[in-house]
């Protein structure tokens, strides 16, 4: 990943509706983000299938995380980067 600036960390997360969350970063930036594009792969499948499990999101290690070990890189969320699964798919097509 290219250098995007200082590393960011999540300070708070609040589940909203569907797969949307409100995230507050340590620099006090707040964003409402639809996590649907990031919830791909086996570790995210339980979250997609169980709204209660998805809504149990919390801050762990400076990012959003769930009890099953799923998490999302805070830089991806802050800078609006392409999800890793999408980059892998695009790379495989080339």
Is-contact 50 66, C-beta < 8 A?
no
The pLDDT value given to residue 92: 58
Q: The pTM is what?
A: 0.82
CA distance 85 to 39: 9
Residue 16 domain boundaries: 10-93
We report the CATH number of the domain holding residue 17 as 3.30.2020.10
Q: 87 lies in a domain?
A: yes
Q: What percent of the chain has pLDDT over 70?
A: 82
Name which residue leads in pLDDT, 89 or 1: 89
Give domain status of residue 50, yes or no.
yes
Nearest Cα neighbor of 59 from 21, 4, 17 is: 21
Question: At 4, is the pLDDT very low, low, confident or very high (cuts 50, 70, 90)?
Answer: low
CA 34 to mean position of chain CA atoms: 9
Q: Average of pLDDT values for 26-31?
A: 95
CA distance 94 to 89: 9
The CA distance from 86 to 92, in Å, is: 10
The pLDDT value given to residue 80: 87
pLDDT > 80? residue 43: yes
pLDDT at site 85: 63
Position 14 pLDDT exceeds 60: yes
Is 4 inside any structural domain?
no
75 occurs within a structural domain: yes
**Considering the domain boundaries, does residue 5 fall inside one?**
no
Please state the domain count of the chain.
1
- Does residue 24 lie within any of the structural domains? yes
């Amino acid at each position: 990943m290219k250098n995007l600036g200082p590393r960011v960390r999540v300070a708070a997360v609040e589940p909203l509706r569907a797969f949307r969350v409100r995230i507050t970063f340590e620099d006090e930036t707040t964003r409402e983000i639809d996590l649907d594009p990031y919830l791909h792969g086996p570790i995210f499948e339980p979250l997609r299938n169980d709204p209660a499990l998805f809504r149990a999101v919390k801050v762990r290690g400076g990012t959003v995380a769930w009890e099953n070990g799923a998490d999302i890189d805070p830089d991806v969320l802050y800078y609006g980067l392409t999800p890793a699964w999408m980059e892998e798919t695009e790379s495989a097509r080339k």
